[in-house]
């Protein structure tokens, strides 16, 4: 998520705290929900106009934990930039758009239903080839075709959650995992090589059967010329960084063995801060609304996330920041004493975690 003011200057260390699933909370939508009766019927009315159908493509880095033990923060941000840049470049060439702000090591694209599944898979195979050839870290990719709620640029709903879980928990580096709904949209006689993949709970959930894409036709490399990061702002993936910081990050990515450069950039950009991390429980499902992926449950969860933001803005000192990433509230302070006072005074109106 993006930081809310007041935040002076730029702190790259804070950018990677957020999960980057959406550019921000859908505040206006939550206010409409709050102003109504907060019933299932209200939820369906509020969300109904936001339904979109297409492909959700979610990626997650593999092996990053091991690398982060031996690398500094800036080096980590540099090595995860390349795969995201390539995924975005080939995804745009295949008719997709970025979802949210890609602050951490995961990323998401949305492709409209009009895009052929074969076009999308060819783009992803080429993406994985280029990542393997050019990058130090690999990604696993999950793909699902379904219906989602498009709220302020973020995708929500049971199907959106399921494909995120697939990519983050059930893929490995270099893998492309696609759901049955994707394979059903491949043309007859296609030349993609698919193998059924065991995913706990998938057959009975919205993803149904999941397959690994082992081989198939590749998109042309020339279609992603913007993947080198030098094509201007319009071609970049949605980065949360300033232009100056991102320029330095690209320098470090091009010359990762230059310890002197890494030290210089660390001195220029890194700052020590204090973070308060607050975790909430899940929203009450509500009477007659047992389905955790229902419209009412989605809005209850968003309502709680907005409450976490509002609480932070009310209690934070003039210099500070708040981000909300799912059930987590991340509150940033310049001074440890202010953070300690905030943690002491925090009386959250949201449920405690499990």
* pLDDT per residue as tens digits for the range 199-221: 987 777 899 999 999 999 999 98
Supply the pTM of this predicted model. Answer: 0.85
Confidence of residue 14 (pLDDT cuts 50, 70, 90): very low
Residue 1, burial from CB neighbour count under 10 angstroms (0-12, 13-18, 19+): buried
Residues 194 and 100 both lie in one domain? yes
CA–CA dist 201, 195 (Å, integer): 18
- In the numeric block, the tokens 């995708």 are attached to 155
Q: Which band of pLDDT confidence, cut at 50, 70 and 90, is reported for residue 1?
A: very low
Is the model more confident about 349 or about 274? 274
d(CA 183, CA 181): 6
Q: Are residues 75 and 182 in the same domain?
A: yes
Same domain, yes or no: 328 and 345 = yes
Least confident of 21-30, 223-232, 299-308: 223-232
Check whether residue 176 and residue 319 sit in a common domain: no
- Report whether 79 contacts 253 (CB < 8 A): yes
215 and 231 part of one domain: yes
Range 201-226 burial, b when 16+ CB lie within 10 A, else e: ebeebbbeebbebeebebbeeebbeb
What does DSSP say about strands 138-151 and 176-179: parallel, antiparallel, or unpaired? parallel
Residue 8, pLDDT score: 35
pLDDT at 354 (0 to 100) = 54
The number of distinct structural domains making up the chain is: 2
Alpha helices in 59-106 (DSSP H): 64-68, 73-93
Note whether 75 and 18 are same-domain residues. no
Instruction: Tell me, yes or no, whether 155 lies in a domain.
Output: yes
Asked if residue 281 has pLDDT above 70, the reply is: yes
Residue 63: what pLDDT? 83
Quick check: 191 and 144 in contact, CB under 8 A? no
34 assigned to some structural domain: yes
* Same domain flag for 119 and 15: no
Domain final residue, candidates 206, 235, 264? 235
> Does residue 218 sit within a domain?
yes
Q: In percent, how much of the chain has pLDDT > 90?
A: 56
Span of 84-93, 113-122, 128-137, 339-348 with lowest mean pLDDT? 339-348
222 located within any domain: yes
Same domain? For 36 and 57 the reply is no
Are residues 185 and 310 located together in one domain of the fold? Answer: no
Is residue 125 in some structural domain?
yes
pLDDT digits (tens, 9 = 90+) for 112-150: 999 999 999 999 999 999 999 999 999 999 999 999 999
DSSP string, 15-33: HTTS--SSSS--HHHHHHH
Q: What is the CATH number of the domain that holds 189?
A: 3.30.70.1230
- Which of 213, 235, 257 is the last residue in one of the domains? 235
Q: What pLDDT sits at residue 61?
A: 95
**Would you state the pLDDT for residue 285?**
52
Statement to judge: residues 130 and 279 lie in one domain: no
From 210, 235, 260, the end of a domain falls on 235
Predicted confidence (pLDDT) at residue 289 exceeds the cutoff of 50:
no
Asked whether residue 244 is domain-assigned, the answer is: no
Q: Where residue 286 falls among pLDDT bands split at 50, 70, 90?
A: low
Structural domain containing residue 34: 1-45+272-354
In-domain check, residue 219: yes
Q: How many CA atoms lie within 13 A of 253 on its CB side?
A: 22
Domain co-membership, 198 together with 281: no
Give the pLDDT confidence of 157-200 residue by residue, as tens digits: 999 999 999 999 999 999 999 999 999 999 999 999 999 999 98
- Residue 250 belongs to a domain: no
Are 202 and 301 in a shared domain? no
């Amino acid at each position: 998520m993006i930081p809310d003011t007041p935040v002076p200057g730029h702190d790259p260390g804070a950018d990677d705290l957020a999960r980057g699933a959406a550019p921000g909370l859908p505040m206006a939508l939550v206010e409409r929900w709050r102003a109504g009766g907060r019933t299932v019927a209200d939820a369906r009315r509020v969300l109904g106009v936001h339904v979109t159908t297409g492909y959700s493509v979610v990626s997650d880095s593999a092996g990053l934990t091991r690398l982060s033990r031996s690398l500094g923060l800036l080096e980590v941000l540099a090595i995860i930039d390349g795969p995201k840049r390539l995924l975005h470049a080939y995804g745009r060439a295949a008719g997709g758009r970025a979802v949210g702000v890609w602050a951490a090591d995961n990323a998401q694209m949305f492709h409209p239903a009009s895009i052929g599944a074969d076009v999308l898979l060819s783009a992803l195979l080429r993406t994985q080839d280029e990542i393997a050839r050019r990058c130090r870290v690999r990604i696993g990719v999950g793909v699902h075709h379904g219906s989602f709620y498009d709220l302020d640029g973020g995708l929500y709903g049971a199907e959106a959650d399921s494909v995120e879980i697939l990519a983050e928990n059930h893929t490995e580096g270099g893998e492309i995992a696609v759901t049955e709904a994707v394979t059903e949209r491949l043309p007859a006689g296609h030349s993609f090589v698919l193998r059924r993949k065991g995913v706990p709970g998938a057959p009975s959930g919205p993803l149904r059967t999941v397959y690994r894409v082992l081989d198939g036709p590749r998109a042309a490399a020339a279609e992603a010329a913007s993947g080198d990061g030098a094509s201007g702002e319009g071609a970049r993936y949605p980065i949360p960084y300033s232009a100056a910081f991102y320029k330095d990050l690209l320098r470090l990515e091009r010359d990762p063995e230059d310890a002197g450069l890494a030290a210089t950039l660390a001195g220029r950009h890194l700052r020590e801060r204090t973070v308060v991390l607050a975790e909430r429980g899940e929203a009450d499902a509500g009477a007659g609304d047992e389905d955790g992926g229902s419209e009412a449950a989605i809005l209850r969860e968003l309502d709680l996330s907005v409450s976490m933001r509002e609480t932070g803005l009310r209690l934070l000192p003039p210099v500070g920041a708040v981000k909300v990433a799912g059930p987590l509230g991340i509150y940033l302070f310049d001074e440890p004493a202010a953070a300690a006072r905030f943690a002491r005074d925090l009386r959250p109106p949201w449920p405690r975690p499990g």
